[in-house]
Amino acid sequence: MEKLKKRWGIDSNFQIIIIFIVFAITGSVSAKLAAPVTEFIGITKENVSGWIYWPIRILLIFPIYQVLLVFFGWLFGQYKFFWAFEKKMLKRLGLGSFIS
């Protein structure tokens, strides 16, 4: 736990618990929101092959997750951590030019 706190620049165990909670909530909510988004654009399990449906749904989860991560981080008072985390992740994916 101490290694993770040092790596992320976190001071307290409470802060790391909050960060883990934000990651958990964000993952669950983004996966849940992907279903109505795919349905809205007309892609359902009934009208599209599973080989097409699931990759599209997984690709939709990614941007939803990115937005929700910063939102829930802000909601739980950890905006600074999650904004820095987001920028680092997008830079590693080669999308760093979209943020400042």
Q: What is the pLDDT of residues 59-84, one digit of tens each?
A: 999 889 999 999 999 999 999 999 99
Q: Is the pLDDT of residue 15 over 70?
A: yes
Rounded to two decimals, the pTM is 0.82
Mean predicted lDDT score pLDDT of the chain: 90
Split at pLDDT 50, 70, 90, the class of 7 is confident
Q: Is the pLDDT of residue 100 over 70?
A: no
Instruction: For residue 8, give every residue at least 6 positions away whose Cβ sits within 8 Å of its Cβ, in sequence order, or none.
Output: 16, 19, 81
> In whole angstroms, how far apart are CA 35 and each of 5, 22, 67?
35, 21, 16
Q: How far apart are the first and last CA of the chain?
A: 31
